[in-house]
Amino acid sequence: MTMYRIMFNFCFFCSTLSLFTFFRMIYNLNLSRSQSRNRLSMLKAESVMYGVFHSGGKQHRVREGQTVRLEKLDIATGKTVEFDRVMMIVNGEDIKIGSPFLTDGKITAEVVAHGRGEKVRIIKFRRRKHFRKHQGHRQWFTDVKIIGIGS
């Protein structure tokens, strides 16, 4: 009992921090190894299908039905687009990894909208030189909805 009293005698910030570590310690004691193994097997058994593809210099991890914001694509709204630069496809326990791309992997998506992102302001300033420069930038983007992931 005195050990806990010592733990809570600090300032407010320290006491909340020590309370957190105290409850985390109790939580970790309650978890046995079999419980953690069961949780891991439940995560593995969950049938998840997702793919990783390359577009606009970036890699995107997507699921079917997900809407993703990509760099601007020159495709009309409502049209479908196929991404053939697929790096990985996971379907439950079946995992296909390319080096760097899969030869038979395709991700199909429908173009939902085009637009411009939030404005980013660039301000350049040099002290004592009477130099100030303001610049703004809004990046074009394309929203696509993933229709299918196939290999």
Sequence-ordered list of residues with C-beta below 8 angstroms from that of 115, at least 6 positions apart, any chain? 140, 141, 143
Q: What are phi and psi of 26, to 5 degrees?
A: -65, -40
At CA 130, angle to CA 136 and CA 124, rounded to 5?
25
| pLDDT tens, residue by residue, 62-120 | 999 999 999 999 999 999 999 999 999 999 888 999 999 999 999 999 999 999 999 99
Res 35: pLDDT: 58
Give Cα 89 to chain centroid, integer Å: 16
| pLDDT tens, residue by residue, 18-53 | 566 666 666 665 555 555 555 555 545 456 899 999
